[in-house]
């Protein structure tokens, strides 16, 4: 046991961190222990190492750890992957979501050595593309795989058109888009190794690559997918008039109409015009649902035309959107059955679970400030990021557990020496309840400690307020143990 000194002189760590690092092997037990200490420090204060470490010796040890050639991010994350698989094994169905986020490390005065260009040679950072496990209640289970890459410098001597022509000539395996297929195949391998769980792979429209769709021909029996369509593909048709997926859907009958809640979206770009990226307000929407089987015509490739593939397609489109708003439309390719409206709605719901990976990215950036860490080299930065990925997952896990497993005892997710001091501070009393509060009650206490006002106009506590509450909870726990109150 690690991480802090108890009154008896033994070293103690949070149980969840021990569970994540059960299989961690960095070649030195001291490095294993230091990894656990740093994750707890990140969970407490994640803005930067100087703020996270209480004393200069701890800060120095943290920097030594990040710059040690033996502390590879791959080894750190593989231990977390193993712990995630253990959580997955307890579920009948698990969603595997993949997506890409950009980690912008552009600094005003000193750039991170080894970082690569982003959209141009004036902005530097790296790309993070995880395979993220979520259960059917929306509770984050953790990462099971990931791809991290750094681009080569962009050739300024070529036009954008010339660079695009060169990329088109590259083999598919050499293109960045190959990450989608790589993670899809990783999900299939995980499914084959865990036959008792049904895996549903979900991804946004950027993943809709024909080579990936061909995987339907040789999927594991317990592995399916729901992918958002990125282009109106040509189809194999029995008549001369139905030529694309959209043509086919327009001829299908509406199977159901449903009321749904559309979430608010903030545009990341000023004056954005693309429908999928434009800002919008939250609203209630009525959608119509269609579904059918479709055979796609294989596209041409340098080596010849790819084979046709048959799969199912679902369309969910908003009826009568508000004036000035674009109609919401999802078109989804899936290997799941669509024989009933219940099955179709289940596939749509699986795809909607993809939002969990977006929340994970938000916690990394807005909550933990992953783009604000202070490391001179990309190697040190990626080691720190690998530990932060684990801490950010923990916040998302707690947040969603409070929403869907709120009646469970908080001791299902927290140790007694965590919830007890936080309870006393939140309630301004030394009197503890006979039984531990529920998960919903305790997470609300944490959120209030983190600044949540609990007004009627507010939604449930979000990642930032829970993260702030967890920071305070760890400080209260340290004091609680230091005074021998456990």
Give the pLDDT mean for 326-336: 93
Residue 57 has what pLDDT? 66
Give the pLDDT mean for 257-268: 65
Q: What angle do CA 209, 214, 220 make, to 5 degrees?
A: 120
Residue 281 has what pLDDT? 64
* Domains of the chain from N-terminus onward: 226-353 (3.90.350.10), 405-486 (1.10.740.10)
What's the CA gap between 52 and 384, in Å, rounded?
Answer: 12
What's the CA gap between 286 and 101, in Å, rounded?
Answer: 31
What's the CA gap between 212 and 184, in Å, rounded?
Answer: 8
Single out the residue of 411, 383, 409, 418 nearest to residue 12, CA to CA.
418
Residue 464 has what pLDDT? 81
Q: What angle do CA 308, 312, 314 make, to 5 degrees?
A: 130
Tell me the pLDDT tens digit for each residue of 345-356. 999 999 999 999
What's the CA gap between 382 and 376, in Å, rounded?
Answer: 11
Question: Taking a C-beta distance cutoff of 8 angstroms, is the pair 136, 198 a contact?
Answer: no
Helices of type H across 217-354: 245-250, 341-352
Question: In 10 A of CB 215, how many CB atoms?
Answer: 18
Question: Taking a C-beta distance cutoff of 8 angstroms, is the pair 353, 134 a contact?
Answer: yes
Give whole-number Cα distances, 128 to 20, 260, 314, in Å.
Answer: 21, 31, 29
Residue 259's pLDDT band (boundaries 50, 70, 90)?
confident
| Residue 444 pLDDT > 90 | yes
Question: Sign of the CA dihedral 79, 85, 90, 95?
Answer: positive
| Residue 9 pLDDT > 50 | no
Q: Give the H or E element holding residue 180.
A: helix 178-193
| Residue 8 pLDDT > 50 | no
Per the structure block, which two tokens stand in for 190? 């995980």
Greatest Cα pair distance, the chain, in angstroms, is: 82
Question: Taking a C-beta distance cutoff of 8 angstroms, is the pair 347, 252 a contact?
Answer: no
What phi and psi, each to the nearest 5 degrees, are found at residue 31?
A: -70, -40
Residue 63 has what pLDDT? 83
What's the CA gap between 240 and 424, in Å, rounded?
Answer: 73
Tell me the pLDDT tens digit for each residue of 153-181. 877 766 766 666 655 655 555 678 899 99
Percent of the chain's residues with pLDDT above 70: 84
| Residue 276 pLDDT > 60 | no
């Amino acid at each position: 046991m690690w991480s802090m000194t108890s009154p008896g002189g033994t070293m103690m760590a949070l149980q969840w961190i021990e569970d994540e690092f059960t299989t961690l092997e960095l070649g030195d037990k001291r490095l294993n222990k230091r990894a656990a200490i740093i994750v707890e420090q990140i969970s407490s204060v994640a803005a930067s190492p100087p703020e996270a470490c209480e004393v200069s010796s701890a800060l120095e040890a943290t920097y030594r750890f990040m710059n040690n050639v033996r502390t590879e991010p791959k080894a750190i994350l593989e231990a977390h992957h193993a712990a995630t698989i253990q959580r997955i094994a307890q579920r009948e169905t698990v969603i595997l979501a993949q997506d890409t986020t950009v980690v912008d490390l552009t600094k005003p005065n000193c750039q991170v050595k080894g970082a690569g260009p982003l959209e141009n040679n004036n902005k530097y950072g790296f790309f993070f593309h995880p395979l993220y496990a979520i259960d059917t209640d929306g509770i984050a289970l953790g990462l099971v795989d990931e791809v991290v890459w750094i681009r080569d410098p962009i050739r300024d001597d070529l036009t954008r058109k010339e660079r695009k022509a060169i990329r088109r000539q590259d083999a598919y395996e050499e293109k960045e888009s190959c990450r989608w297929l790589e993670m899809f195949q990783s999900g299939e391998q995980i499914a084959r190794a865990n036959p008792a769980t049904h895996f549903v792979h979900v991804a946004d429209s950027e993943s809709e690559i024909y080579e990936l769709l061909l995987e339907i021909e040789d999927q594991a029996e317990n592995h399916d997918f729901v992918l958002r369509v990125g282009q109106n593909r040509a189809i194999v048709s029995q008549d001369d008039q139905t030529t694309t997926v959209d043509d086919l859907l327009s001829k299908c009958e509406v199977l159901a109409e449903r009321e749904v809640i559309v979430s608010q979206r903030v545009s990341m770009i000023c004056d954005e015009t693309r429908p999928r990226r434009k800002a919008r307000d939250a609203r209630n929407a009525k959608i119509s649902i269609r579904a059918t089987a479709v055979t796609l015509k294989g596209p041409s490739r340098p080596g010849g035309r790819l084979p046709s593939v048959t799969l199912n397609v679902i369309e969910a489109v908003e009826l009568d959107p508000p004036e000035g708003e674009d109609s919401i439309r999802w078109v989804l390719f899936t290997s799941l059955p669509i024989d009933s409206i219940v099955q179709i709605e289940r596939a749509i719901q699986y795809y909607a679970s993809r939002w969990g990976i977006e929340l994970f990215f938000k916690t990394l950036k807005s909550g933990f400030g992953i783009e604000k860490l202070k490391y001179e080299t990309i190697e040190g930065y990626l080691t720190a990021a690998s530990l932060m990925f684990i801490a950010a997952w923990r916040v998302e896990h707690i947040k969603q557990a409070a929403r869907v497993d709120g009646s469970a005892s908080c001791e299902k997710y927290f140790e007694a020496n965590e919830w007890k001091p936080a309870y006393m501070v939140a309630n301004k009393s030394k009197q503890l309840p006979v039984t531990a509060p529920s998960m919903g009650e305790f997470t609300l206490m944490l959120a209030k400690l983190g600044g949540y006002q609990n007004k009627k106009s507010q939604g449930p506590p979000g990642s930032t307020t829970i993260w702030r509450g967890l920071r305070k909870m760890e400080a209260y726990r340290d004091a609680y143990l230091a005074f021998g109150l456990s």
